[in-house]
Structure 1
C-alpha cells in the first residue's frame, strides 16, 4: 500500500519509516509494540525486529542471552568491538565469559586503537551478525 509522492520521492506508509520510528523508541515500548504485532502478523514482526536490531541493542539482552553471544566471539574480535563501548557494558560483557577469554579481550582493549576505528566497527558488525544469526535460530530473543 505504499504510495509514492512523485515530486519528492517520499514513501507514505513505508517499512523504512516504521523501522526508523522503532529505532528511536525506547526498548520497553518497542518490545510491547512488536509483541502485539507478532500476534497479528508474525512475518512482519520478525522482519521489523531484525531490521531494528543494532549493536547497541545487544546491551538490552538479559545476561544469559548476552553470555551466549559474547562467549561465541573470538577474544580479539570481542576486544576490538568492546573498545568503543561504554565501560559499564565492557565490564558486563567481560564478566560473563571465562577469565582466560576476558583477559585476552581486555589486552586488545588496552591497546591504542585510535587508528583502527574501522576495524573496531567491523568487529562490532561481526558481533551483530552473530547475534542476528542466534536470533534467527531462536537461541536468543530480542524484545
Structure 2
C-alpha cells in the first residue's frame, strides 16, 4: 500500500507544471544568511542569478500541505465509516487466515522436499536447485502474512 502511495506521489510531482520566475540570491548583511527567492529583499545584498528560469514549487522545509477536499466531495457519517472499517477488518482477517494456511502448506511441502533425495542428486547444489522453488513459496507467504498483519495494525 505504501508503494502505491509513493508511486502516486512521485507521479503527481512529475506532472506538476513548472513556474517561471526571476531568481535572486539575497545575503543578509548582519547574519550572513543566504536566501534564494523570486523577489528582491531590500536593495542591498540581493543579486539576480537568472531571469525567467523554470522553478519547482516545493516547500523549502519539505512540509506537506494538507489536501483540501472539494466542497461537493461526498461525506460519510461515522457509523457508515465504522461499518466499512469493520468490513475491511473482516476481509483482512479472512485473507490472513487463508495466507497462514497456505504458509503452513508451503512449509510442509518444503520439509518433504528437503527430506527426500533421489539417486541422481549426489551433488548438494542439485538438491538446492530442486528445493529453491519451495523455499521461494514459503518466503512469499511469509511476506504476505506480514503485509496483511501490518494492514490490520493500521486499522482504527
TM-score of Structure 1 vs Structure 2, range by shorter chain:
under 0.3
Instruction: Indicate the structure with greater strand content.
Output: 2
Instruction: Indicate the structure with greater helix content.
Output: 1
Q: TM-score, normalised by structure 2?
A: 0.23
Query: RCO greater where, 1 or 2, for CA within 8 Å and sep 6 or more?
Result: 1
Q: TM-score, normalised by structure 1?
A: 0.24
Radius of gyration: which is bigger?
2
